[in-house]
């Protein structure tokens, strides 16, 4: 029902969104771009192919001015003048396709991006638990037989806390995660991260190993965050930003106050769409892998923002 309402509201948005976009900045977020079937992502992310991604970029360029990280910060300080509203392109999770596929496209188009990474997975040392889930689902669906003891809906319920269950299920299904990591190399390695930095892209923190923050106690939230930021600082990556894995839903004000008091952060990022946050330095990004084009996604987001504004619910209130 909610999605039908959003789609209905989107039909009233004009194609030229330059004036109707309610904020003076746009923060699209992607994970991966590939023309290939990627079993570790195909059941959890509707990643775009190259043509779809380039079409998105061309659409954004029509109505927004892409900026780099320093320009983004200067814009908020009033030190960077623009002719259009700005857009900062972001990616999450540090997948290898950012190096192989995305970066060459961005360089050709002159567009900057930040990739927020999880140090636990650099050099393909481990696989994020939801990617393990995707591989298991892929095996169940493509095996040609049904294992009555393993149901896809049950696999999908496994969370960060009990992620070890995924290793047990994988063993039962004869899935070798280590072999998959070695052959597929889904994540960026350290040399690639350094190369991307030298080419002008941003590499920043996305937690240590991608937990769902509202499931963690405050101390665990801070520990996981600071551990990732320390890695970023030690290796001279982009140390004054942080993007929440999954969502910042349920993260309370005391987390932000403690983090920004003790870390030299300029901004942190959620992914709740077009919304304002009561913690002014936490900015919300727009998920772009929802199955629609950039035009469809932005018009839906604008329509939903207007509805929430009428209900006085378009600001995330931290307590």
Say whether pLDDT at 311 is over 90.
Answer: no
DSSP string, the chain: -HHHHHHHHHTTS-S--TTT-SSSEE-EEE--B-SS--TTTTTT---B-HHHHHHHHHHHHHHEEE--HHHHHHHHHT----SSEEE-EEEES-BTHIIIIIHHHHHHHT--EEEEE-GGGGGG----HHHHHHHHHHHHHHSSS--TT--HHHHTT--STTTHHHHHHHHHTT--HHHHHHHH--B--HHHHHHHHHTT-EEEE--SS---GGGS-HHHHHHHHHHHHHHHHHTTS--SEEE-SS--TT--HHHHHHHHHHS--SEEEE--SS-EESSTTEEE-EE--SSS-HHHHHHHHHHHHHHHHHTT--EEPP-
Whole-number mean pLDDT of the chain?
94
Q: Which domains does the chain have, with CATH numbers?
A: 2-125+188-316 (3.20.20.370), 128-185 (no CATH)
- For 240-283, how does the pLDDT look when each residue is reduced to its tens digit (9 = 90+)? 999 999 999 999 999 999 999 999 999 999 999 999 999 999 99
Say whether pLDDT at 202 is over 70.
Answer: yes
Give the mean pLDDT of 291-305: 95
Give the mean pLDDT of 108-137: 98
């Amino acid at each position: 029902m909610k999605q039908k309402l959003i789609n209905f509201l989107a039909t009233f948005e004009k194609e030229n969104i330059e004036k109707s976009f309610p904020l003076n900045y746009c923060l699209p977020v992607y994970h991966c771009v590939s023309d290939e079937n990627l079993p570790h992502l195909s059941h959890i992310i509707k990643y775009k192919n190259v043509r779809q991604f380039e079409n998105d970029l061309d659409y954004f360029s029509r109505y927004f001015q892409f900026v780099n990280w320093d320009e983004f910060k200067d814009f908020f300080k009033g030190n960077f003048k623009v002719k259009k509203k700005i857009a900062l392109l972001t990616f999450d999770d540090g997948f290898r396709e950012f190096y192989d596929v995305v970066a060459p496209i961005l360089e050709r188009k002159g567009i900057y991006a930040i990739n927020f990474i999880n140090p636990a997975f650099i050099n393909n040392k481990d696989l994020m638990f939801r990617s393990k889930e995707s591989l298991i689902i892929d095996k169940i669906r493509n095996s040609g037989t049904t294992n009555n003891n393993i149901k896809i809906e049950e696999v999908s319920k496994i969370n960060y806390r009990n992620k070890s269950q995924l290793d047990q299920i994988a063993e039962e299904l004869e899935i070798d995660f280590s072999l998959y990591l070695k052959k597929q190399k889904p994540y960026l390695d350290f040399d690639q991260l350094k190369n991307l930095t030298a080419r002008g892209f941003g590499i920043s923190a996305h937690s240590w190993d991608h937990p769902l923050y509202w499931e963690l106690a405050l101390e665990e939230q801070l520990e996981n965050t600071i551990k990732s930021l320390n890695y970023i600082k030690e290796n001279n990556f982009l140390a004054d930003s942080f993007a929440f894995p999954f969502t910042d839903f349920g993260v309370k004000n005391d987390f932000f106050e403690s983090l920004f008091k003790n870390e030299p952060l300029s901004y942190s990022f959620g992914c709740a769409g077009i919304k304002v946050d009561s913690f002014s330095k936490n900015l919300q990004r727009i998920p772009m892998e929802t199955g629609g084009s950039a035009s469809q996604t932005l018009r839906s987001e604008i329509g939903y923002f207007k509805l929430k504004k009428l209900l006085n619910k378009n600001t995330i209130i931290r307590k």
